[in-house]
């Protein structure tokens, strides 16, 4: 063992001497290098937006979705390993439908988020298992509060409730941009555009792979039904986003 900490990264069952679990950190790394994902809690609902990096130009548009419906009034978006993400989506769907079967009411977002976190966390405890290489953002309507709420589950099994959250490559920049928004007055309709702007803005067109933007909403105007946005709505949001970004760049040039 050359330096302190080496040799402790082969299994999530063992802490390193300075108290870290390297396998979990590596899992988070694989999320950190994949497409940007953001979630916004607007005044009248939730917006989820995801940058789907296209591995191949021959892909059929709309394939390999990263935003999925979980139940009538909840949806989720993930980034990281797509196959790992899908596993969490399946689990979310099972939890949602079994809760509905058992108790006759939709699963409360806090319960769903909690159960997913337990599921993900379980994979960080066993030598025979590998942590999930995906982060999951949940947008879900809460009947008791009559509002939608936003949660993010991370590969470590941590879960928090957010006003705005981000994961993936552009998360730092995205968080900075989200903090500039007034989420208490921002509507879902505006949120869709802002989300498109933030995701587009953080891209490096020279270096980044081509992408497809996915957006969905859990909005009051749709009775809080989770709905992936129509292609035309996304195209319009992207157009608006590009105009905004160009305007900003022009202003910066003028200042120089």
Partner 1 sequence: MSTLSFSLDPTAAQTTPSQRTQYPIVTGTSVVGLKYKGGVMLAADTLCSYGSMAKYKDARRIRTVGTNTIIGASGEYSDFQSIMDTLEGHTQDDVNYDDGHKSDAKSIHSYLRAIMYQRRSKMNPLWNDLVIAGSGFLGYVDKIGTTYEDDFIATGFGSYLAIPILRSKWRPDLTEGEARALLEDCLRVLFYRDCRALNRIQIAKVAEGETGVVSEPYELETNWEGAGFESTKGGMEGDGGW
Shortest Cβ 256–partner 1 spacing (Å): 46
Return the number of the residue (75 or 168) whose C-beta is nearest partner 1.
75
Per the rule left: phi > 0, alpha: psi between -120 and 50, beta: everything else, 155 is alpha
Return the number of the residue (93 or 175) whose C-beta is nearest partner 1.
93
Contact 39, 175 (CB under 8 A): no
Q: Report the site for partner 1 in 182-201 (rule: CB under 8 A).
A: none
For position 33 contacting partner 1 by CB under 8 A, the verdict is no
**Beta 37-42 vs 211-219: how paired, if at all?**
unpaired
Q: Report the site for partner 1 in 137-176 (rule: CB under 8 A).
A: none
Give the integer Cα–Cα distance in Å for 205 and 242.
12
Shortest Cβ 68–partner 1 spacing (Å): 7
For position 93 contacting partner 1 by CB under 8 A, the verdict is yes
Shortest Cβ 189–partner 1 spacing (Å): 22
For position 65 contacting partner 1 by CB under 8 A, the verdict is yes
Closest CA to 27 of 123, 166, 112: 123
Contact 212, 61 (CB under 8 A): yes
Return the number of the residue (41 or 65) whose C-beta is nearest partner 1.
65
Contact 82, 66 (CB under 8 A): yes
For partner 1, the binding residue among 219, 228, 229, 241 (CB under 8 A) is: 228
Of 36-44, 53-61, 93-101, 160-168, the segment contacting partner 1 by CB under 8 A is 93-101
Shortest Cβ 201–partner 1 spacing (Å): 27
Polymer length in residues for the chain: 256
For partner 1, the binding residue among 69, 79, 135, 217 (CB under 8 A) is: 69
Q: Spell out the residues 6+ positions from residue 18 whose beta carbon is closer than 8 angstroms to its own.
A: 4, 5
Of 3-11, 12-20, 62-70, 201-209, the segment contacting partner 1 by CB under 8 A is 62-70
For position 72 contacting partner 1 by CB under 8 A, the verdict is yes
For position 70 contacting partner 1 by CB under 8 A, the verdict is yes
Residues contacting partner 1: total by CB under 8 A: 10
For position 36 contacting partner 1 by CB under 8 A, the verdict is no
Dihedral angle at the C-alpha atoms of 243, 247, 249, 252, nearest 10 degrees? -170
Q: Is 36 exposed, middle or buried (0-12, 13-18, 19+ CB in 10 A)?
A: buried
For partner 1, the binding residue among 18, 101, 255, 256 (CB under 8 A) is: 101
Q: Spell out the residues 6+ positions from residue 135 whose beta carbon is closer than 8 angstroms to its own.
A: 31, 37, 78, 79, 80, 152, 153, 154, 155, 167, 168
Contact 73, 226 (CB under 8 A): yes
| Contacting residues toward partner 1, per CB under 8 A | 65, 68-72, 93, 97, 101, 228
């Amino acid at each position: 063992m050359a330096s302190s900490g080496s040799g402790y990264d082969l299994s999530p069952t063992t802490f390193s001497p300075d108290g870290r679990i390297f396998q979990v950190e590596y899992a988070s790394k694989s999320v950190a290098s994949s497409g940007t994902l953001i979630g916004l809690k607007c005044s009248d609902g939730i917006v989820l937006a995801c940058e789907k990096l296209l591995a191949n130009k021959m892909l059929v548009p709309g394939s390999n979705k990263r935003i999925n419906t979980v139940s009538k009034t909840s949806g989720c978006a993930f980034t990281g390993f797509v196959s790992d993400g899908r596993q969490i989506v399946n689990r979310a769907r099972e939890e949602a439908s079994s809760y509905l079967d058992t108790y006759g009411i939709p699963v409360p977002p806090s319960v769903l988020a909690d159960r997913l976190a337990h599921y993900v966390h379980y994979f960080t405890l066993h030598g025979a298992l590998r942590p999930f290489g995906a982060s999951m953002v949940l947008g879900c309507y809460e009947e008791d509060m009559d509002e939608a709420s936003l949660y993010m589950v991370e590969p470590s099994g941590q879960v928090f409730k957010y006003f705005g959250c981000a994961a993936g490559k552009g998360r730092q920049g995205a968080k900075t941009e989200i903090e500039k928004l007034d989420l208490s007055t921002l509507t879902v309709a505006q949120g869709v555009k802002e989300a498109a702007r933030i995701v587009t803005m953080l891209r490096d067109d020279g270096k980044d792979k081509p992408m497809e933007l996915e957006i969905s909403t859990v909005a009051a105007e749709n009775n809080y039904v989770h709905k992936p946005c129509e292609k035309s709505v996304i195209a319009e949001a992207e157009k608006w986003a590009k105009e905004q970004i160009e305007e900003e760049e022009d202003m910066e040039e003028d200042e120089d």
